């Protein structure tokens, strides 16, 4: 086939050229926009930096003003405090007895870290006494040992009484302390503040503010040169760490421009520096922030270079990405064109382009898809066939279309498998358990279909498998196959075992449902052990579905549990299990007995409001019963279950409760007398209604139920353990009328006293025979 040639004009209109031209146009538009934005930004960035520094200055001034105002108000209130007013006695001298009352308030104020207070002290005009947070001392020791600074000696502080101000901030200075071990501790740069009151001129309050901490907290750019000036232009604070003494402050003040405005706020440029200034609205202090011009210029330059660099990188990356995307978009289209030019050749490509590879695989994919559709249809037909057999087995109505999918003309053998897993199997991971169960089903399916072609194996329940064998062979072939399966399953007895039910009779197609029901009955007749069993007969006689436990036995078991007698309860259950074993009960009937006993005990505990979640470490007793496959295992389970249930009862009885304990003790001592709820309530000094409600909440029984239950328990003990007449026993347990006693005994125990005595004697004789 001739190759199609394109003229030059067609090449200019190719997809690659169009794509690349479109990308270039987008890049040009974006570049123009970025250049205009950069030019506009560069002309306004300096203005933005100045506005930022102005805003920073305003925030700093507001912070200092609020801080000084807060300190002034906190110190000024000392003059109006009764404890501080008591510091000066009538003769004008300090009142030493009032000093200890003042210190807690000083320490309370100093504990507020947000005030940046290093110390607060009180000086007296006519006495050298100084009160501060740690001690009381004299002015000489205070300012020559504890807070020493050349500008602020004892004379300076004494001279402040002669000054006429009420609040004043003094220049910051370095303070130090000379300790007793002759070491010197640097207190840092502190800013003195003095508060005076003309009505209390005998003393003044002074504070030392941590100037450096205030600056770091209130100023948002620590690299600037920041000044605080008083109304006369003297420097009170400068952010330079080496300029904290008075002489250094004076030198700094002379370094500021002489024409610095004395009022207002704003900025000006002088000697390549920006001077931002503002007056404090309340303190009258002057704040100045000095920023070198080269810093702002360098910031603008760096930002400009950064933006230009980013723009250059973005343009270069955009060009490369445009070319790469154009090639990537164009290559698949060119590949499709080449594929269309070679329709008779295989569509296999080595270019690595996903889109073209997809086209090359399309035809083969269609063949594979047809094959997949056929396999999927067969799999779904198999599922429908299994559903049809299951519906037929369980006598479920199904669609007429399913009738064509199942075999309805050949006779068959039916084999049912019931899988049982041990506790060790339950310790496997959930994924491993599911895989194991699946592999067992597949193994059974392979064995049956391999030995009997056309066999159908179904998963009827989670742990139940059923095989339909359409074969002309006799039953011996099936039994031989089951024997081989048993040998394999016996290898993993510690993980599980199986029950295989097979009636060696070939069934007709219309007996599917009946054969399934018979297999279920055969599975239920397995013996109680952990071996894989093959059952080939229908159960001859059905034992009673419910466990052979009389009402009297049930009442005695529950009464033993309520009395906390776990050993007695375990003995009763053991007797039932031995009776079942002697009766030849199968595994299903043992399981039904276990469920019945658990249900009775469970119901009893719930009725009496016991916390059943504490039993068996929170595990379900019904799940634990599934792992019982011998009489001993059932006995151990119920001994544990009854023991923990009885322990709950004993634990509740052991709780100290004076009202309940008195009532129970009184009933235990006087149950043979004429006893009533009113009599016990009167002895406790309570009302009848209150005691009735309280007793029921604490015991789970009404008062009369408890008394009658205790009387019947004592009566049963005497009936089974003595030869006393029923009339005498009735009187002994508090019934003067023997008929009333008989009616109550039968209502609670289910038997008359005479019947109970005969049953007790018979059970005693049976136990003697078993033991012998």
pLDDT digits (tens, 9 = 90+) for 108-119: 888 888 888 889
pLDDT band at 768, cuts 50/70/90?
Answer: very low
pLDDT band at 193, cuts 50/70/90?
Answer: very high
Q: Which sequence spans correspond to the domains of the chain?
A: 61-213, 407-535, 560-647, 656-772
Q: How far apart are CA 237 and CA 169, in angstroms?
A: 10
Residue 361: is its pLDDT beyond 80? no
Please indicate whether residue 511 or residue 86 has the higher confidence score (pLDDT): 511
Length of the chain: 772
Question: Residue 556 is encoded by which pair of tokens?
Answer: 């005695």
Residue 417: is its pLDDT beyond 90? yes
Please indicate whether residue 699 or residue 61 has the higher confidence score (pLDDT): 61
- Per-residue pLDDT, 546: 43
Q: Which CATH number fits domain 656-772: 2.40.110.10, 3.30.420.40, 1.10.10.60, 3.40.50.1370?
A: 1.10.10.60
User: Which residue stretches of 351-459 are H helix?
Assistant: 354-393, 423-426, 430-451
- Per-residue pLDDT, 190: 92
The CATH class that applies to domain 407-535 reads: alpha beta
- Per-residue pLDDT, 585: 85
Please indicate whether residue 606 or residue 165 has the higher confidence score (pLDDT): 165
Q: Of 581, 615, 621, which is closest to residue 598 (Cα–Cα)?
A: 621
Please indicate whether residue 254 or residue 555 has the higher confidence score (pLDDT): 555
| Greatest mean pLDDT range, 187-201, 241-255, 754-768 | 187-201
Helix (H, G, I), strand (E, B) or coil at 282: coil
Which residues share a beta bridge with 138? 129
Q: What is the pTM of this model?
A: 0.43
Q: b/e string for 552-571 if b means 16 or more Cβ within 10 A?
A: bbbbbbbbbbbbbbbebbbe
Measure Cα distances from 132 to 73, 211, 364 in Å: 19, 19, 97
Q: What are the pLDDT digits (tens) for 118-157? A: 899 888 888 888 888 877 888 888 888 889 999 999 999 9
Q: Rounded mean pLDDT of the chain?
A: 80
Q: Provide the CATH topology of domain 61-213.
A: Beta-Lactamase (3.30.450)
What's the mean pLDDT in 84-103?
A: 75
Residue 758: is its pLDDT beyond 90? no
């Amino acid at each position: 086939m001739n190759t199609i040639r394109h003229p030059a004009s067609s090449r200019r209109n190719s997809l690659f050229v169009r794509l690349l031209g479109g990308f270039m146009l987008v890049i040009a538009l974006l570049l123009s926009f970025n250049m205009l934005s950069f030019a506009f930004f560069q002309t306004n960035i300096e203005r933005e930096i100045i506005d930022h520094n102005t805003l920073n200055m305003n925030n700093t001034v507001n912070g200092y003003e609020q801080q000084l105002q807060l300190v002034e108000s906190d110190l000024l209130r000392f003059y109006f405090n009764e404890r501080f007013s008591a510091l000066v006695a009538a003769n004008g001298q300090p009142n030493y007895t009032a000093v200890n009352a003042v210190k807690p308030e000083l320490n309370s104020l100093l504990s507020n870290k947000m005030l940046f207070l290093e110390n607060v002290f009180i000086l007296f005009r006519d006495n050298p006494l100084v009160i501060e947070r740690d001690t009381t001392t004299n002015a000489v020791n205070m300012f020559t040992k504890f807070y020493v600074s050349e500008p602020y000696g004892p004379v300076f502080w004494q001279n402040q009484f002669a000054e006429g101000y009420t609040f004043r901030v003094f220049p910051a200075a370095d303070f130090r302390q000379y300790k007793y071990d002759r070491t010197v501790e640097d207190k840092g740069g502190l800013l003195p503040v003095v508060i005076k009151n003309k009505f209390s001129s005998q003393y003044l309050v002074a504070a030392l503010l941590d100037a450096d901490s205030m600056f770091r907290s209130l100023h948002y750019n620590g690299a600037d040169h920041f000044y605080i000036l008083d109304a006369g232009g003297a420097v009170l604070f400068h952010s330079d760490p080496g300029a904290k003494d008075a002489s250094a402050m004076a030198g700094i003040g002379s370094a500021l421009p002489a024409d610095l405005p004395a009022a207002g706020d704003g900025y000006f440029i002088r000697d390549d520096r920006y001077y931002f200034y503002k007056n404090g609205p309340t303190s009258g202090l002057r704040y100045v922030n000095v920023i070198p011009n080269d810093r702002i210029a360098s910031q603008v330059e760096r930002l400009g270079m950064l933006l230009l660099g980013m723009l250059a990188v973005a343009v270069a990356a955009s060009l490369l990405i445009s070319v790469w995307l154009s090639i990537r978009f164009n290559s698949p289209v060119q590949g499709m064109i080449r594929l269309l030019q070679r329709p008779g050749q295989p569509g296999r490509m080595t270019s690595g382009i996903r889109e073209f590879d997809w086209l090359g695989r399309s035809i083969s994919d269609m063949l594979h898809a047809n094959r997949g559709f056929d396999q999927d249809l067969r799999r779904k037909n198999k599922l429908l066939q299994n559903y049809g057999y299951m519906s037929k087995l369980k006598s479920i109505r199904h669609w007429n279309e399913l009738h064509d999918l199942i075999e309805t003309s050949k006779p068959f053998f039916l084999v049912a498998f019931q899988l049982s897993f041990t506790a060790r199997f339950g310790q496997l991971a959930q994924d491993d358990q599911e895989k194991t169960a699946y592999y067992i089903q597949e193994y059974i399916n392979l064995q049956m279909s391999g030995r009997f072609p056309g066999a159908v194996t179904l998963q009827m329940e989670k742990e139940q498998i059923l095989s339909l064998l359409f074969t002309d062979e006799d039953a011996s072939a099936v039994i031989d196959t089951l024997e081989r399966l048993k040998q394999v399953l016996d290898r993993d007895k510690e993980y599980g075992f199986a029950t295989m039910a097979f009636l060696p009779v070939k069934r007709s197609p219309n007996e599917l449902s009946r054969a399934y029901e018979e297999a279920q009955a055969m599975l239920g007749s397995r013996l109680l052990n952990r071996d894989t069993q093959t059952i080939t007969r229908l159960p001859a006689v059905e034992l009673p579905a419910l466990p052979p436990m009389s009402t009297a036995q049930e009442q005695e078991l529950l009464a033993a549990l309520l009395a906390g007698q776990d050993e007695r309860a375990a003995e009763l259950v053991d007797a039932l299990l031995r009776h079942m074993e002697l009766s030849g009960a199968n595994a299903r009937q043992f399981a039904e007995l276990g469920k019945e006993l658990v249900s009775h005990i469970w119901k009893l505990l719930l009725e009496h409001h016991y916390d059943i979640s504490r039993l068996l470490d929170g595990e379900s007793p019904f799940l634990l019963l599934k792992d019982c496959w011998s009489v001993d295992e059932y006995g151990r389970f119920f001994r544990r279950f009854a023991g923990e249930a009885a322990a709950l009862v004993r634990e509740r009885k052991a709780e100290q409760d004076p009202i309940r304990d008195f009532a129970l003790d009184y009933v235990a001592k006087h149950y043979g007398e004429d006893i009533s709820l009113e009599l016990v309530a009167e002895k406790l000094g309570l009302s009848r209604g209150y005691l009735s409600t309280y007793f029921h909440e604490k015991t789970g029984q009404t008062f009369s139920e408890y008394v009658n239950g205790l009387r019947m328990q004592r009566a049963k003990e005497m009936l089974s353990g003595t030869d006393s007449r029923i009339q005498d026993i009735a009187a002994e347990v508090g019934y003067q009328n023997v008929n009333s006693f008989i009616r109550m005994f039968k209502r609670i125990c289910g038997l008359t006293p005479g019947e109970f005595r005969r049953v007790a004697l018979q059970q005693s004789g049976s136990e003697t025979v078993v033991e012998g």
